[in-house]
Amino acid sequence: MVQNSLPLHWRKYPERYRLEGNINEETGEAFFPARVVDPKQGRKGKLVPIEMPRIGKIVSLTEVYVGPQGFEKETPYFLALIELENKVRMLTQIVDSPKEKIKEGAKVKKVFRKISDIDEEGAIAYGYKFKVEE
């Protein structure tokens, strides 16, 4: 089935694969995921696509011990609210990092990792996660 092919996934979800959001050219405020309309400026602001910064810091975090269906074998893992260099905040998983370094204020960088391989056609979904910078 062509609509579920991996190349289509790459084009269909730019926020997942390229960390693409948008920015209001007039105000300079960035949004992730991309917005159709600027929530403050309404239709007045011109929104253009941009790739989000790949560096940020942890603002808040939690350790997950009981994962949702399909992620039971992944536990325990960390979820963090991070603030990117352009002030955009996003929720993400923290991976490949020593537990003692995962804390508020820690600098993080984007990495590309497998999200799931549960697709009935065998396609593996990839996307962004973050890791603490060494």
What is the tally of structural domains in the chain? 1
Give 81-116 pLDDT, tens digit per residue. Answer: 999 999 999 999 999 999 999 999 999 999 988 777
Q: Is residue 5 part of a domain?
A: no
Evaluate whether residue 86 is within a structural domain: yes
85 domain-assigned:
yes
Nearest to 95 by CA among 126, 119, 129, 59: 129
The stretch 1-18 carries a mean pLDDT of 53
pLDDT at res. 126 = 73
For 62, the domain range is: 54-132
Tell me the pTM.
Answer: 0.81
Give the residue among 65, 30, 37 at the shortest CA–CA distance from 51: 30
Let me know if residue 89 belongs to a domain: yes
pLDDT at res. 10: 47
**What value, to the nearest 5°, has the Cα angle with vertex 9 and ends 80 and 4?**
125
